[in-house]
Amino acid sequence: MLAVGLVGVLAVLLVAGLLVAAVATTGQRVRTAADLAALAAAGRALEGADRSGACAAGGRVAVQNGASLLSCTVSPTETGIPRVELEVGRPVDGTPWTVRARAAAGAVPAEEGWWG
């Protein structure tokens, strides 16, 4: 009886460990997809594309990296260099969970700068 209980506990721990690993792996992939999508969108915005064109470029890069674009904003800045902020997501395989990540690229507003 003790052996059966021990096997059950080990099985639960194994499944929990696999879920944690799946979420961690998916999270890293989503963060990478968000960063690359933000860079792609900012690049298109810098080339003169409007919001829809820049966000479409970011969405394509997100999809190519296994995520989907959830939101995207393109903001003008006082320097003339646009700032893109977006959010992407991807479901965790075998679970009902979705991992989301945000990223930004382009100009850094003065209030967020490292110079104080």
Q: Tell which residue, 57, 93, 55, 83, has the closest CA to residue 71.
A: 55
Q: Is residue 58 part of a domain?
A: yes
C-alpha dihedral sign at 74, 76, 80, 81: negative
Percent of the chain at pLDDT > 90 equals: 52
Q: Is residue 112 part of a domain?
A: no
* Residue 91 domain boundaries: 22-105
Q: Is residue 17 part of a domain?
A: no
What is residue 110's predicted lDDT score, i.e. its pLDDT? 61
Q: Are 39 and 107 in contact (CB under 8 A)?
A: no
Mean pLDDT of the chain: 87
Q: Is residue 73 part of a domain?
A: yes
The pTM of this model reads 0.79
Q: Is residue 116 part of a domain?
A: no
In angstroms, the CA 54 to CA 74 distance is 8
In angstroms, the CA 13 to CA 30 distance is 26
Q: Is residue 92 part of a domain?
A: yes
What is residue 115's predicted lDDT score, i.e. its pLDDT? 52
Q: Is residue 37 part of a domain?
A: yes
pLDDT at 116 over 60: no
Q: Tell which residue, 109, 104, 108, has the closest CA to residue 58.
A: 104
Tally of structural domains, the chain: 1
Q: Is residue 84 part of a domain?
A: yes
Average pLDDT over residues 90-104: 90
